[in-house]
Amino acid sequence: MRSMDINTAITKNPEAKPTPELGPKDRCDRCGAQAWVRVQMKAGELHWCAHHATKYEQVYAKIAVAVLDERARLDEMEGAGAR
pLDDT tens per residue across span 36-61: 999 999 999 999 999 999 999 999 99
How far apart (Å, rounded) are the C-alpha atoms in residues 82 and 70?
A: 16
**Which residue ranges make up each domain of the chain?**
22-79
pLDDT tens per residue across span 56-82: 999 999 999 999 999 998 888 777 765
pLDDT of res. 77: 78
